[in-house]
Amino acid sequence: MVYDSKKMVTGASHINLGGHTIGVPNNHWTKFGILHYHNRCVEIEVENCWRVLERHDYISSSDTKQEAKVKLANKFRCSSEDVCNTCAFRPKHFNSYHKAIFYLQWLDCPEKTKKEYYGDDVSTGQYNSDVINAMQLSHKRFDL
């Protein structure tokens, strides 16, 4: 994923790479662009999502996969059966909802989620074309 982080945090001495800035005055806009790419395997992404969801107390470390699936599906007012094909994933107003969506999809349809995560067919050794295109465009625009 590529995040467009256009704002500096007020009074901060660091650059916000995630773009999760809220309520920044207009005079703190910057033209400085940052590309922050993550290249990790899907299993690490799943583990990271699980840890975040556990820290938010949405799931417990003692939960089975089915128990976690039921808890997360309930947050989106969905049935835990066939989540990938039946859930609209609404509402989206709680912390780290995007992590909950990804982890819930992983629990319900791991092969489909893995294929979507990598983009191209991983069995052919291809790389994610969206990331390659973004890098090529960045090099073209900024003459890197």
91 domain-assigned? yes
Which range, of 10-19, 48-57, 69-78, 121-130, averages the lowest pLDDT?
Answer: 10-19
Cβ-based neighbours of 142, under 8 Å, separated by 6 or more: 33
Same domain membership, residue 65 and residue 22? no
Quick check: pTM over 0.75?
no
- Per the structure, the count of domains in the chain is 2
Domain carrying residue 19: 1-37
The residue count of the chain comes to 144
Please classify residue 124 by burial: count the beta carbons closer than 10 Å to its beta carbon, then call 0-12 exposed, 13-18 middle and 19+ buried: exposed
Average of per-residue pLDDT across 57-81:
96
Alpha helices in 63-96 (DSSP H): 65-75, 83-86
